[in-house]
Structure 1
């Protein structure tokens, strides 16, 4: 991963990354950002980036930044004449001065991101769907003032028939109690699968998807 790709990854997920760091790591992260801004050669850039990555080791494995940096995604090192995107770095330094977002802000941001995924509404389920989507183990995302949404990946292409493996995995993920968390698992990069589970439906064996979900919850 190049330095600019690393900064871009941080920029996309900055609020939830900052909020996930404790005070000590957040302070060291800020120092490393300033070191990176002042770095004038490849070695100094490499040291600053290495420090940034060290602080990110505390992120939970389900965090989108942690998923991108773990598994097969490795930092490839820095060439001697590396050029860091100073505009993006400056943007990170600017927002770093603000207090981290609170739990409510993080929850709203995560919900808005997941709400945008292609989905079916209650009227779209029709005859193909079971009478009670919740009982079937489907993820139902509720939004104040709007109709419920059922993420599209849960259904066979072109139909409203639930995929059995999705219902099985949703049961493992306790989607009935935490539909947003289950949706985030399906739509985020998974280290065990080296991909995004929702995009791997039909491309990898169903047992691999089921096992990846069990790995998350600590099952056998």
Structure 2
């Protein structure tokens, strides 16, 4: 799940976010990180460092908060801001206004017009798309990862026969009806073979693919501003050391 998804969650849960941060220092740290994100978005530069600071600050939320639940379900591993656009500076400012209001819980979220009031929607109402909830974001993220090229069942059986159960490989359990119980993304192998790439195994170890295969897959298959591309697409193009350095940057940020 990308930084764009994380910021969309904060926009969705802006009121409960403010209410969940009881400590003034925690609230100010989240606000400071959001200000950095807004400045980066406004200036057109990478927001990745500020998003990493924001992710750490959000650990102060109670575990039952929807944002904590989404962060805990799988890591926001991709650190790029490519692909989907970040929320606008104005949307981020809405969250900031709630955090910086002393009685933040008293500021209601603007909801849809009440039915039967006769009120016409404003001219810009149709331009504002609904923000998906955490469950929908997670489902879409997993659907994207499962759509990446993967070994066939026959190839996976041959891999197990020739190499055994390689612990360093990413295997994704497909929850869809009839889905494979061990979908193994193809980028992990030398083209045309079942030979795992050593650099992939090393990076998978850094990303703890054994504990969080979805997060590791998201890093490989998501846009990465540090590398200016998708890591899986850069295998064999960038030096292995650059790929490992980008993964280490993420791990050390956590």
- Which of 36, 41, 52 is matched with 1:53 structurally? 41
Structure number having the greater strand percentage: 1
| Separation in structure 2 between the aligned mates of residue 160 and residue 91 of structure 1, nearest angstrom | 52
| Separation in structure 1 between the aligned mates of residue 192 and residue 165 of structure 2, nearest angstrom | 20
CA-CA distance at 1:177 after TM superposition: 1.0
Post-superposition Cα deviations, 1:82-136, rounded to whole Å, max 9, x if no partner, equal xxxxxxxx797342xx4x4332221111000111001113421315851103x2x
Q: Give the length in aligned residue pairs.
A: 158
- Which of 18, 22, 45 is matched with 2:8 structurally? 18
- Poorly superposed stretches of 4+, deviation over 4 Å: 13-17, 56-66
Structure 1 gap ranges (5+): 1-12, 27-49, 70-89
Does the CA-based 8 Å contact 1:187-1:196 persist in structure 2?
Answer: yes
| Separation in structure 2 between the aligned mates of residue 109 and residue 160 of structure 1, nearest angstrom | 29
Q: Over aligned residue pairs, what C-alpha RMSD do you find?
A: 3.6
CA-CA distance at 1:191 after TM superposition: 2.0
| Separation in structure 2 between the aligned mates of residue 92 and residue 52 of structure 1, nearest angstrom | 27
Does the CA-based 8 Å contact 2:77-2:250 persist in structure 1?
Answer: no
CA-CA distance at 1:66 after TM superposition: 5.3
- When residues 51 and 92 of structure 1 are mapped into structure 2, their CA distance, relative to the original with a 3 A threshold, is farther
Q: 1:117 and 2:148 equivalent?
A: yes
Equivalent position of 1:177 in the other structure: 211
| Separation in structure 1 between the aligned mates of residue 162 and residue 125 of structure 2, nearest angstrom | 46
Equivalent position of 2:246 in the other structure: 212
| Separation in structure 1 between the aligned mates of residue 186 and residue 199 of structure 2, nearest angstrom | 14
- When residues 114 and 92 of structure 1 are mapped into structure 2, their CA distance, relative to the original with a 3 A threshold, is farther
Equivalent position of 2:35 in the other structure: none
